[in-house]
């Protein structure tokens, strides 16, 4: 590359929002102009393929899946190829511009892996904690688990993750241009957040559903019995019994009427005086209470009493707020905090949540977790984590200075000053490459922009990282 800029790779997955045919361009155009390339037929076939895949993926998401069940990825390359082929999605990668990567010739979107429900004999379902212990691959220093709440659950070790090569794209759709054009990016706007919140909700609801293996039995048993019960009841304790009047109740009622009537006749005068006293006391008391109530009501109306604002209303009011305001306003009162926590995770465009012992990273947007097995995510070696809405993976980074980072699908800054954003595990700060090397402020995090579709951002060359005034982005999509 003749440009002295940061070269960043973006892998774009089709998302429902971007289902429309995406324009493609190639060859590092300075002006960001996009040009169709590749032969038309291939393109058309590819897009149909993609659409099908997307639909299937959505199907997959809707299926009730046991929350604890992992879709275990096959160990063998061959297995995967076979299964992917079954899905009709085998793609050859020419690997142009990706020469640094070794092996596989066949590649696939990571989501496809979710469809390979290859229940291995060892343990298809286990709790997250259990699997945390289980993973200890000798091939890499540290092992990580990847949970992707949005599109199912992934359970991969670092060694396995390294084998994926994150689903390299077909060469025909390699896109490269100098600046990300505006239409590829959404600002962190509410609509986008709402769209993204969906996977999270699905994940939550999944927990309530019956386990997959038990589903058929439960359905069968419940479907047969429940409807019969009313009929059976009416059969056994039919009409006759309901018409019987309970004689005891009748007697009691008569007695009561008689006692009540006694007052008028003065026959039970002993009870009358205290009753009146009680009545008066009660009357005065209720008047006092009523007056206090009215005063309190008036005061509360005057004061607004917005403490009692329904939670959904608070939520509505708080939801346009992002960033600092949103976080700060949690300190207002308890109900505000509870109203905000549900949406807080979704509303933080790129915030990673680190557990206290730093062994778990949570990417709230897709509700993905990354769990380090050696209790320290800081030791990634020469690898870096790539986080995105669809899936998360680890890869060795050849560019010096770019390792041990968590790359987020976000850009810092606006317009032509956009820089890829990452989280540095060593310094525990959000940073971006480029002239403005300084750590990102809290506000700048929230002002970050995200590519419209599922994207991984990867720095590819060291010298471009260190001296970049003119950032280069390389988009690769399929």
Partner 1 sequence: MASTTETKQKKMLILKSADNDEFEIEESVGVQSETIKNLVEDGFTFVPLPNVYTKALIKIIDYLKKHANKTDSNDEEIKTFDKDFVNTTFDDLFELVSAANYLHISCLMNMLCQTIADRIKDKSPEAVRKIFHINCDYTPEEEAKIRKANAQAFEGQFDESLD
C-beta of 44 vs 313, nearer to partner 1:
313
325: contact with partner 1 by CB under 8 A: yes
- Which residue in 180, 148, 143 sits closest to 160, CA to CA? 143
Question: For residues 436 and 428, what is the distance between their CA atoms, to the nearest angstrom?
Answer: 17
Residue 327 binds partner 1, judged by CB under 8 A:
yes
Of residues 65 through 124, those in contact with partner 1 by CB under 8 A are none
Q: Residue 384 — left, alpha, or beta (φ > 0 → left; ψ -120 to 50 → alpha)?
A: beta
Q: Which of 52, 130, 279, 324 binds partner 1 (CB under 8 A)?
A: 324
Distance of CA 351 to the CA centre of its chain: 13
Q: Considering beta carbons, is residue 127 or 341 the nearer one to partner 1?
A: 341
Structure tokens at 458: 């990867």
Tokens of 162: 């390294």
For CA atoms 102, 103, 107, 109, the dihedral sign is negative
Which residues neighbour 322 within 8 Å (Cβ) at sequence distance 6 or greater? 188, 347, 348, 349, 446
Give the β-pairing of 429-432 and 419-424: antiparallel
Choice from 117, 125, 330, 466 touching partner 1 (CB under 8 A): 330
Q: List the structure tokens of 414.
A: 């606006």
476 exposure class (CB count in 10 Å sphere: 0-12, 13-18, 19+): buried
Cα 283 to Cα 276: distance, rounded to the nearest angstrom: 10
Tokens of 417: 């000053």
Contact partners, residue 466, CB within 8 Å, separation at least 6: 401
Stretch 371-410: interaction string toward partner 1, x if CB under 8 A = ----------------------------------------
Nearer to partner 1, 336 or 407 (CB): 336
Q: Which of 252, 288, 333, 426 binds partner 1 (CB under 8 A)?
A: 333
Tokens in use for 444? 């700048």
Of 177 and 344, which has the nearer Cβ to partner 1? 344
| C-beta closer to partner 1: residue 159 or 444 | 444
Cα angle 172-173-177, degrees, rounded to a multiple of 5: 120
Q: State in angstroms the smallest separation of the CB of 188 from partner 1.
A: 15
Closer CB to partner 1, residue 268 or residue 313?
313
319 in contact with partner 1 (CB under 8 A): yes
Q: What is the distance between the alpha carbons of residues 25 and 177, in angstroms, rounded to a whole number?
A: 7
Binders in 256-315 for partner 1, by CB under 8 A: 303-307, 309-310, 312-313
Q: Which CB, 89 or 351, lies closer to partner 1?
A: 351
For residue 444, state whether it binds partner 1 (rule: CB under 8 A).
no
Q: Quick one: 7 or 314, whose CB is closer to partner 1?
A: 314
Among 129, 241, 242, 334, binds partner 1 (CB under 8 A): 334
> For residues 425 and 378, is the Cβ–Cβ distance under 8 A?
yes
- Applying CB under 8 A, among 282, 332, 426, 438 the residue interacting with partner 1 is 332
User: What distances in angstroms separate CA 306 from CA 26, 127, 316, 327, 473, one per listed residue?
Assistant: 56, 43, 14, 20, 49
Q: How far is the CB of 342 from partner 1 (least distance, A)?
A: 16
Residue 429 engages partner 1 in binding (rule: CB under 8 A): no
Which one of 173-181, 221-229, 262-270, 330-338 is the stretch in contact with partner 1 (CB under 8 A)?
A: 330-338
Count the residues of the shown chain that bind partner 1, applying the rule CB under 8 A. 31
Among the listed residues 317, 345, 424, 452, the single contact to partner 1 using CB under 8 A: 317
| Residue 158 interacts with partner 1 (CB under 8 A): yes or no | no
Q: How far is the CB of 327 from partner 1 (least distance, A)?
A: 3
Site for partner 1 contains 442 (CB under 8 A): yes
Q: What are 476's strand-pairing partners?
A: 11, 174
CA distance 429 to 357: 16
In the complex, the residues that contact partner 1 under the rule CB under 8 A are: 303-307, 309-310, 312-313, 316-321, 323-334, 336-337, 441-442
């Amino acid at each position: 590359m003749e440009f002295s800029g940061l070269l960043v790779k973006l892998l774009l997955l089709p998302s429902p929002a971007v289902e429309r045919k995406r324009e493609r361009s190639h060859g590092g155009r300075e002006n960001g102009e996009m040009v169709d390339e590749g032969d038309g037929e291939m393109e058309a076939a590819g897009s149909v393929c993609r659409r099908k895949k997307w639909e299937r993926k959505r199907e997959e998401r809707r299926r009730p899946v046991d929350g604890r069940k992992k879709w275990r990825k096959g160990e063998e390359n061959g297995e995967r190829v076979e299964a992917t082929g079954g899905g009709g999605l085998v793609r050859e990668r020419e690997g142009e511009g990706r020469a640094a990567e070794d092996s596989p010739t066949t590649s696939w979107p990571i989501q496809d892996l979710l469809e390979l429900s290859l229940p291995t004999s060892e343990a298809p379902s286990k709790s997250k904690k259990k699997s945390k212990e289980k993973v200890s691959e000798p091939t890499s220093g540290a092992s990580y688990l990847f949970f992707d709440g949005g599109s199912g659950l992934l359970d991969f070790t670092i060694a396995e993750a390294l084998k994926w090569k994150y689903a390299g794209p077909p060469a025909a759709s390699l896109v490269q241009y100098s600046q990300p054009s505006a239409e590829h990016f959404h600002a962190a706007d509410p609509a986008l957040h709402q769209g993204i919140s969906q996977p999270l909700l699905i994940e939550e609801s999944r927990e309530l559903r019956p386990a997959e293996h038990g589903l058929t039995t439960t359905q069968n048993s419940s479907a047969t019995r429940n409807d019969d019960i009313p009929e059976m009841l009416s059969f056994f304790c039919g009409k006759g019994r309901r018409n019987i009047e309970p004689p005891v109740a009748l007697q009691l009622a008569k007695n009561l009427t008689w006692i009540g009537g006694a007052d008028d006749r003065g026959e039970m005068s002993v009870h009358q005086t205290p009753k009146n006293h009680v009545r008066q006391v009660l009357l005065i008391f209720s008047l006092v209470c009523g007056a206090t109530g009215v005063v309190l009501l008036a005061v509360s109306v005057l004061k607004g009493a917005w403490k009692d604002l329904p939670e959904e209303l608070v939520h509505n009011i708080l939801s346009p707020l992002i960033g600092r305001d949103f976080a700060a306003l949690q300190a207002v009162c308890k109900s505000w905090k509870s109203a905000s926590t549900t949406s807080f995770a979704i509303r933080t465009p790129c915030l990673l949540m680190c557990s206290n012992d730093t062994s778990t990273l949570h990417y709230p947007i897709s509700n993905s977790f990354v769990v380090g097995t050696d209790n320290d995510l800081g030791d990634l070696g020469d690898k870096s984590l790539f986080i995105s809405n669809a899936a998360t993976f680890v890869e060795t980074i050849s560019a010096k200075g770019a390792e041990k980072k968590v790359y987020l699908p976000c850009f810092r800054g606006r317009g032509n000053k956009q820089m890829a954003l990452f989280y540095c595990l060593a310094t525990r700060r959000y940073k971006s490459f480029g002239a403005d090397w300084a750590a990102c402020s809290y506000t700048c995090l929230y002002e970050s922009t995200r590519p419209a579709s599922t994207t991984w951002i990867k720095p590819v060359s060291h010298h471009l990282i260190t001296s970049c005034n003119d950032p280069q982005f390389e988009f690769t999509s399929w």
